[in-house]
């Protein structure tokens, strides 16, 4: 199998019905109907909360700059951010855009090539929005609607009307502009953010090489945390703590929703296929690919959620089959050997494992690659089992859709596990 990047289609989001051009966002928000009126646009500069939580946002509109360094810093410190994304930047940097989505960051439509929206026609605005949305969705499977960040921060009544008409009902501004794009030094950026830090604040930064925002970011996060702040995306502020999935008729909320959003969403876990239930005193919920379990106090960094060992449970009794027997072949350039379970992880499966959560999400491999008949389709595919997952190679799909996670959640629920 060759090395490939994989992405899944994410469900679209409903627009939000809110007041026009509000400066401060209150805590209660309703979901708007799909045919939102043209005036139903919220312009948000800060979020109405007394909790010490802020949104770090980065605009990606010109050069590649320090985007990879910023993503490394965010990953190392466990922070999720929001990126104002132009279509031109996404087209030039597809791997970075996929990485942003895969690592749980939010993308906000920032136009195709950064024109001032008050200076262009309604038709041009619609084209700028749709071209960017379509490209980013084709790259990542994620939708950016209903979130928009205006180029240069410029908008007028006509712009807001056209935003709503095209499904963008949250106009994302900022509380603090670091001015990194305008030559502010690392120390100036850091001091300005610390001086203006406020609950619900939105910090505007840029990924481009002209800005020192990337250099200031590590200390910014560390010093804000020392003051008691934590971080979340713009979407986290706006969307409710419970989400209904019409595809399966079930909702996800609380710790399970936070885990679903942060650690892979639809790609890793699939849609919910049960309500929350309690077994042996533990709250659980089934998803297409996993079973989430709530263990309070066990894993705070992951919302106290552990994933059930469905791969182990569903392959019980198969240890004497050849693919499940331990091997001793050492690691090489194409394969990694895992001593705890005595199996290798190679090529495309290894790449997918490494780039979609690794050990905490999937667990160690508990088999080698082998041929197995798919329970749902009857087709025979190359598969590999892990403690919490099954990977399937689907050559009938175009890359990167040729590696799929098996529906172990459905299989386990049907089997009564």
Tell me: the pLDDT tens digits for 303-321? 889 999 999 999 999 999 9
- Strand 30-31 to 24-25 pairing: unpaired
98, 149 contact by CB (below 8 A): no
The H-assigned helical ranges of 20-156 are: 67-77, 87-92, 94-102, 122-140
Q: What is the mean pLDDT of residues 392-410?
A: 87
pLDDT band, very low/low/confident/very high, at 185 (cuts 50, 70, 90): very high
Per-residue pLDDT tens over the stretch 274-291: 998 888 889 999 999 999
Residue 110: predicted pLDDT: 98
Q: What is the mean pLDDT of residues 46-67?
A: 93
Select, from the ranges 3-12, 44-53, 219-228, 370-379, the one with the highest average predicted confidence (pLDDT): 219-228
Per-residue pLDDT tens over the stretch 90-111: 999 999 999 998 888 999 999 9
At 319, phi and psi to the nearest 5?
-60, -25
pLDDT band, very low/low/confident/very high, at 240 (cuts 50, 70, 90): low
* DSSP secondary structure letter of residue 201: B
Q: Is 189 a residue whose pLDDT tops 90?
A: yes
83, 115 contact by CB (below 8 A): no
Per-residue pLDDT tens over the stretch 134-153: 999 999 888 898 999 999 99
Residue 39: predicted pLDDT: 59
Residue 318: predicted pLDDT: 95
| Pick from 29-43, 235-249, 340-354, 390-404: least confident | 29-43
Q: For helices 186-196 and 213-226, what crossing angle results, to 10°?
A: 40
pLDDT band, very low/low/confident/very high, at 7 (cuts 50, 70, 90): very low
Q: Is 15 a residue whose pLDDT tops 90?
A: no
Owner of token pair 């920032």: 110
394, 385 contact by CB (below 8 A): no
Q: Is 38 a residue whose pLDDT tops 70?
A: no
Q: What is the mean pLDDT of residues 65-83?
A: 95
Per-residue pLDDT tens over the stretch 190-200: 999 999 999 99
pTM (two decimals): 0.56
Q: What is the mean pLDDT of residues 398-405?
A: 83
Average pLDDT, the chain: 87
Domains in the chain (CATH in brackets) are: 16-237 (3.20.20.370), 241-308 (no CATH), 314-415 (no CATH)
Residue 278: predicted pLDDT: 85
| Pick from 25-34, 96-105, 235-244: least confident | 25-34
343 vs 327: CA distance, rounded Å: 6
Residue 23: predicted pLDDT: 34
Residue 266: predicted pLDDT: 87
288 vs 273: CA distance, rounded Å: 6
Q: Is 30 a residue whose pLDDT tops 70?
A: no
51 vs 22: CA distance, rounded Å: 20
- Higher pLDDT, residue 262 or 182: 182
Find the angle CA(114)-CA(117)-CA(118) to the nearest 5 degrees.
145
């Amino acid at each position: 199998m060759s090395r490939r990047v994989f992405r899944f289609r994410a469900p679209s989001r409903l627009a939000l019905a809110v007041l026009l051009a509000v400066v401060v966002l209150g805590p209660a928000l309703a979901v708007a109907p799909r045919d939102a009126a043209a005036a139903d646009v919220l312009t948000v500069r800060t979020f109405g909360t007394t909790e010490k939580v802020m949104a770090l946002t980065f605009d990606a509109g010109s050069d590649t700059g320090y985007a990879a360094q910023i993503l490394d810093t965010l990953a190392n410190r466990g922070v999720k951010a929001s990126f104002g994304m132009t279509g031109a930047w996404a087209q030039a940097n597809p791997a970075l855009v996929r990485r942003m989505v895969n690592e749980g960051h939010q993308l906000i439509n920032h136009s195709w090539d950064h024109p001032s929206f008050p200076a262009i026609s309604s038709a041009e605005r619609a084209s700028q929005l749709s071209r960017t949305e379509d490209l980013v969705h084709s790259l990542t499977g994620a939708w950016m609607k209903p979130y928009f960040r205006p180029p240069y921060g410029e908008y007028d009544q006509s712009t807001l009307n056209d935003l709503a008409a095209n499904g963008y009902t949250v106009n994302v501004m900022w509380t603090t502009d670091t001015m990194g794009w305008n030559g502010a030094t690392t120390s100036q950026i850091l001091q300005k953010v610390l001086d203006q830090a406020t609950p619900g604040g939105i910090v505007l930064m840029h990924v481009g090489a002209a800005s020192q925002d990337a250099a200031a970011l590590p200390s910014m996060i560390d010093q804000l945390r020392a003051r008691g702040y934590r971080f979340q995306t713009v979407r986290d502020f706006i969307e409710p703590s419970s989400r209904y999935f019409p595809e399966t008729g079930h909702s996800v909320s609380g710790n399970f929703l936070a885990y679903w959003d942060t650690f892979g969403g639809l790609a890793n876990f699939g849609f919910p296929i049960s309500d929350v239930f309690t077994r042996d005193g533990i709250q659980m919920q089934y998803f297409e690919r996993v079973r989430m379990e709530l263990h309070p106090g066990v894993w705070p960094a992951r919302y106290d959620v552990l994933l059930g060992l469905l791969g182990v449970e569903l392959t019980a009794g198969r240890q004497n089959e050849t693919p499940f027997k331990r091997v001793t072949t050492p690691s090489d350039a194409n394969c990694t050997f895992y001593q705890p379970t005595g199996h290798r992880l190679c090529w495309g499966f290894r790449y997918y494992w490494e780039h979609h959560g690794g050990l905490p999400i999937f667990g160690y491999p508990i088999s080698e690659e082998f041929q197995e008949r798919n329970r749902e389709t009857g087709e025979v595919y190359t598969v590999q089992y892990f403690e919490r997952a099954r990977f399937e190679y689907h050559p009938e799909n175009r890359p990167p859709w040729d590696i799929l996670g098996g529906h172990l959640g459905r299989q386990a629920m049907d089997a009564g596990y």
